[in-house]
Each structure stands twice: as C-alpha cells, then as structure tokens.
Amino acid sequence: MSKYIFITGGVVSNLGKGITGVALGRILIERGIKVNFQRFDPRLNFDLGLINPIQYGEVFVSHDGVESALALGYIERFLDIESDKNNYLTTGKILADMLINNDTKHDENTGMSIQQVPHMTSEIKRRMKSYDDSADVVIIEIGGTVGDMDNAIYLEAVRQFQNELTEDNYIHIHCTLVPYMESTEELKTKPTQTSVRCLNSYGLQPDVIVCRTNKDITLSDHIKRKIAMFCNLKSSDFVIQNKDANNIYEVPLNLAEEGLDRIAIGKLSLPCNALNLNKWKEMINGMDEDLPAINIAIVGKYTENQYSYLSITEGLRHACFNSKHKAKITLVSSEDIEMYGVKDILKPFDAIVVPGGFGDKGIEGMILAVNYARENKIPFLGICLGMQLSVIEFARNVAKLKDATSTEFNVKTKNPVINKMEENKWNNFEKAMRLGDYKCNLKDGTLARRIYGQPEIIERHRHRYEFNNEYREKFEDLGMVVSGVNSDKNLVEIIEYKDHPFFVASQFHPEFKSRPYRPHPLFVGLVNGAVANLKKPTINQ
Ligand code: GLN
C-alpha cells in the first residue's frame, strides 16, 4: 500500500502548491522512492478540452487521451511519469462518472438518495487509491484555496481518508503566503494563521506549513516559531520557506535545503537512499545566464498568454540545457506578422516553431512564417496545426495550388490538402478527434529516423484534421519527404525537407513527452540546428 502526502493551499490561489508537490516528488525520486501524483481540480468542466488557452494556458494531453490543465505537464516533467486519466480529476469528471457510469447509479436505481457525503466523498477516496499498488508515495494536491466552497468536498474526503490511515501513512502539507509589508518592513504571519484555522475547521491539522515569500527574505527563526506556535506545530522545523525562484527547476533544491524531504521521510518512516541532487544541479547549470543564447520564435495565435505554449517552451528549454545554451524564447503573434510583414519580425531569430491551434484566426501569418523558415533555411519545427500549415504552404508555393487549404478553414476549397479522415467525417465533434498515443513508423534514411534513432515511435495527438493522402505522391515528387507514417491508418505523421538544415513538422505534439533529463529528440534536433546556424555567417535575405 502507498503512503500519502496531502497538499492543500490557503491565503491566495496560485501560490505554487502544485510546484511544491512536484518538487518534493522529484526530491523523493532522487532518493530512490517511487512517486505518483494526483491533482483534484474543483472545476465542473468534465475535461479541459474546450477551454480557451488565452485565458487558461495550454491544454495538456495524457497518453490515454485525457485533455487536462497545464498543471499536469508539471507533474509529468518533474516526476518523469506518463500520466493517465486518474492523475488529474475535475469535480465535473467525478460527478459524471458517479451519476452516469458507476455504482452510485445503482443506489439511485434501488431507491436510495445520492449525496455529496457519503457518495461523492467515497468516490473521491476511491480515486485517491488509484495508484496504491504502483507507488511508494502518492502526492495528492487539492486544487483551490481552503475556504472556497468548491474545494470543501475534497477537504472532507481528505479528513475521512486521513482518519482511516495510521499516522505513519500520511503527512499533510499546507501551503500559504507570508507577505512582506514594505511600509512596516516586516513579514506578516496572520494570513497563515487564519488559513490554518480555516483548515482546522474542516477537521484537518497540517504537519508542515510551506510558506511562500514574495521577497528575497529568509523567514527568521522568530517568524517560524510564531507560525509554529499559532498553527499548532510541535516545532518551528516544520515551517518551511518557499522563496520565489528564478526558475521553477530550482524549487527542488530550495525545498531540499529547507529539509522538506527529511520531514516527509521521517513522518512516513520511508526507507530510502541518501539524497543526491547532483544530476539535477548539473542540469540547472545548463541554464546559466552567461551561456550563449539561442533566439527562438514561437509564432502562434494565442500569444497573449505566456502559458499557452508552456510545454513547448519547456521542451525547448530542456533541449537548451542539454546543449549548454540559454533558450531565449519569444512568443510572436501571427497576426502581427500578417500586419507588419514576416521578414522584419522574424529576422532576429535562430529557430522558428509554429505550434498547434484551432480555427482560422492568424493562420495566414503562420503560413508566412513557415514560408520564411523554409526559403531562408531557418531551423523550423511545426507542431500539429504547424504541420498542417507547412503542408498548405508547400501546396501553395511549391505545388502552385494557390487555393490549397484545410477544410477546417474552408470546407469548399478545391484543394483540401488537409482534411478530415473519411471515417471521421460523419462523427460528432468530440469523437472525430485523434487524442493521445498513436504509433508512428519512421522511414529509413530520413532526418526523423536519424534523430529518433529508432524505427518506431509513439507520440501524443490532439487534432481532427489530417494530411490528405490524395496529394501525397504529387508532393513527394516535388521534394516533400514523408518521414513518419501511422501504418495502421495510413496517416502522415511527419514531413521534412532535404535541402534544409532542419525542417521537421509533426502531426503529433512532441512537447508533451519532453523531460528535463530527456529532452525530446525533435527539440534537440531544432536546437542543434539553430546552434549550427549560429556559427554561420549572416544569411543573405
Ligand atoms: N486544428 C487542427 C486540427 O484540429 C490542429 C489541432 C492542433 O494543433 N492541436 O486538426
């Protein structure tokens, strides 16, 4: 049976309790402990497939095709796991499963009422045990802020669950904010005290309080003692400081220095190895400010929000740690390119990424970016929509099919080079999606085959439209290389060009599988292409 680390948060939202959880998870993994992580999200959305990335950031897709919030990406990247449908659960999903699919439905059929307590709490507890056999420790993060109406049901489930566990089988970490008041030059502990009192009112007592501080100030012993005393902790050692970090990969180092892992291991009586974070530290050295920079543009349509392309940004950073270069990533609005011209905007960049997206907003600017990268031999990676637009660019400018487009943008086009699969044409919106893992066979002698170093790969998808095979032969004759294909359904997965330093576009999303220790081969390929380009004299444009 697993042991459990419960993480709750108070005072304000977004204070980094998820990062605290995954960072602690990483430290435990470095000690040889097997860790899994579960986040409960109080939202009523069934999944996050339809949320607006400009408002909420990217949608992260697990290998089994669940569309979740970007928090799941942190879980995968820090813990190096392949998440599944139980790692990220919304209230909407739990309710739908309860009321439509499973045993509670049975209660209704037998004339019983269905209630939040005990039915929903039991369902939440059942979900909390999802990884019981496969992990030594399961970290459970309760989304939302203590005191919110919509996370109360989870706090009740946690209370019941803790009550069923013996003391050495769980630890409760509560994350709060300790703000610094400029006017009086002091750190304030009252919000923390109030938050813990609120948590107490649900019958929960934290074992550790992790205090986020928004100034470069060390919590003094005095402050720690004060928090410990007013929040019922036996010692100020259980008050941990979580300072704002320059980059999130430093958080495991900061928390280890504060001894958070030692407290968890002690309370849980976990057998483990001595801590060695050298590999992690070495990786972070690859982010040194003084390293030579690579300027990478992500030309997209959701650039108003820096989190819209979070996994791509992280994947590029991983590849840069690896090549000991600093990733300087700029989100470029494709609508700006339409308005102000591609050359002036993209000239400063060493590599270009055209990412995924839905709908026709900004696509012409993205096509201009693809064309610029192809003709000027700038290292290029197209992802999902980026691949589809690469095909459209080639169709228009090389195959001279001027009206070529995707039926997503114009159903009546005479040249639907990107189209829905025949079997999906009559399906409704949801079912027509290719979501999650699909196999891809790589053609011998191609760039993709070389950079992956293996003939078959599995990658994650999230799209409705595909390369239209009716154009494949013609485009191949004109120089397009189809280097990756899903043989089960005969679908084009990767295209590339030979006379280019690095031009690869994939129908799948490599960003979901990139890890700090194992940067994704396509990002490594792009960054290496950019590094090679840096050494060349300026390109004649
Ligand atoms: N809109 C395109 C499709 O549905 C691409 C989706 C994406 O980039 N994730 O196929």
- Residue by residue, what is the 3-state secondary structure of 102-152? CHHHHHHHCCCCCCHHHHHHHHHHHHHCCCCCCCCEEEEEECCCCCCHHHH
CA of 355 to the centre of ligand 1 (A): 10
Rounded CA gap, 264 and 28, in Å?
A: 9
The predicted model gives 1-8 an average pLDDT of: 96
CA of 434 to the centre of ligand 1 (A): 10
What pLDDT score was predicted for residue 109?
A: 64
pLDDT range class, residue 514, cuts 50, 70, 90: very high
The response to whether residue 463 sits with its C-beta less than 6 Å from ligand 1 reads yes
Count CB atoms within 10 A of the CB of residue 78.
Answer: 26
341 DSSP assignment: -
Q: Which of 353, 391, 408 to mutate to test the pocket of ligand 1 (most atoms within 8 A of CB)?
A: 408
CA nearest neighbour of 259 among 243, 278, 279, 239: 239
Q: Quick one: which H or E segment has residue 418?
A: strand 416-420
Atom of ligand 1 nearest to the CA of 509: 9
490 DSSP assignment: T
The response to whether residue 300 sits with its C-beta less than 6 Å from ligand 1 reads no
CA nearest neighbour of 211 among 235, 194, 230, 227: 227
Question: Quick one: how far is CA 60 from the chain centroid?
Answer: 5
Helix pair angle (71-79, 310-323), 10° resolution:
30
pLDDT range class, residue 440, cuts 50, 70, 90: very high
The answer to whether the beta carbons of residues 337 and 347 sit under 8 Å apart is no
The response to whether residue 464 sits with its C-beta less than 6 Å from ligand 1 reads yes
What lies within 8 Å, CB to CB, of 342 at 6+ separation is 365, 368, 369, 371, 372
Rounded CA gap, 223 and 452, in Å?
A: 52
Q: Which of 405, 464, 466 to mutate to test the pocket of ligand 1 (most atoms within 8 A of CB)?
A: 464
Identify the residue whose tokens are 């419960």: 6
Q: Which of 59, 384, 512 to mutate to test the pocket of ligand 1 (most atoms within 8 A of CB)?
A: 384
What is the tens place of the pLDDT at every residue in 202-225? 999 999 999 999 776 677 889 999
Report for 104-113, 431-440, 484-493, 527-536: range of highest mean pLDDT: 484-493
What is the percentage of the chain residues whose pLDDT exceeds 90? 82
What is the tens place of the pLDDT at every residue in 258-313? 999 999 999 999 999 999 999 999 888 777 778 889 999 999 999 999 999 999 99
With a cut of 60, say whether residue 430 has pLDDT above it. Answer: no
With a cut of 70, say whether residue 428 has pLDDT above it. Answer: no
- CA end-to-end span of the chain, whole Å? 63
Residues annotated as catalytic (active site), given as ranges: 384, 509, 511
* Percent of residues in the chain assigned helix, strand, coil, to nearest 5: 40, 20, 40
The response to whether residue 435 sits with its C-beta less than 6 Å from ligand 1 reads no
The predicted model gives 417-426 an average pLDDT of: 76
Question: Quick one: how far is CA 505 from the chain centroid?
Answer: 20
CA of 384 to the centre of ligand 1 (A): 6
CA of 362 to the centre of ligand 1 (A): 14
Strand-pair category, 60-61 with 170-178: unpaired
Identify the residue whose tokens are 């979501």: 435
The response to whether residue 356 sits with its C-beta less than 6 Å from ligand 1 reads yes
The predicted model gives 345-358 an average pLDDT of: 96
Looking at 147-200, which runs of residues are DSSP E strands? 170-178, 180-181, 186-187
246 DSSP assignment: S
CA of 394 to the centre of ligand 1 (A): 18
Q: CA 311 → CA 39, 54, 212, 522, 527, distances in Å?
A: 18, 15, 24, 13, 16
The predicted model gives 164-186 an average pLDDT of: 95
What lies within 8 Å, CB to CB, of 458 at 6+ separation is 63, 437, 438, 439, 440
Identify the residue whose tokens are 């102000």: 340
The residue type at 352: I
CA of 56 to the centre of ligand 1 (A): 18
CA of 386 to the centre of ligand 1 (A): 9
What pLDDT score was predicted for residue 541?
A: 43
What is the tens place of the pLDDT at every residue in 70-111? 999 999 999 999 999 999 999 999 999 888 876 566 666 677
With a cut of 70, say whether residue 539 has pLDDT above it. Answer: no
Average pLDDT over the chain, rounded to whole? Answer: 93
What is the tens place of the pLDDT at every residue in 229-259? 999 999 999 999 998 888 899 999 999 999 9
With a cut of 60, say whether residue 427 has pLDDT above it. Answer: no
What pLDDT score was predicted for residue 324?
A: 85
Question: Quick one: how far is CA 161 from the chain centroid?
Answer: 28
The pTM of the full predicted model, rounded to 2 decimals, is 0.94
What is the tens place of the pLDDT at every residue in 464-502? 999 999 999 999 999 999 999 999 999 999 999 999 999
Torsion angle, CA of 467/470/474/479, rounded to 10 degrees? Answer: 20
Q: Which of 462, 466, 493, 507 to mutate to test the pocket of ligand 1 (most atoms within 8 A of CB)?
A: 462
The answer to whether the beta carbons of residues 315 and 523 sit under 8 Å apart is yes
Atom of ligand 1 nearest to the CA of 418: 10
Query: Helix H segments across 40-120?
Result: 53-56, 71-79, 91-96, 103-109
CA nearest neighbour of 256 among 98, 467, 24, 446: 24
Rounded CA gap, 252 and 248, in Å?
A: 8
What pLDDT score was predicted for residue 540?
A: 46
The predicted model gives 373-386 an average pLDDT of: 98
304 DSSP assignment: T
Rounded CA gap, 42 and 142, in Å?
A: 8
The C-alpha angle with vertex 458 and arms to 456 and 464, in degrees rounded to 5, equals 120
CA nearest neighbour of 310 among 522, 17, 516, 58: 58
pLDDT range class, residue 321, cuts 50, 70, 90: confident
The response to whether residue 346 sits with its C-beta less than 6 Å from ligand 1 reads no
Asked if omega into 118 is within 30° of 0 (cis), the reply is yes
CA nearest neighbour of 467 among 475, 478, 458, 457: 475
The predicted model gives 377-383 an average pLDDT of: 97
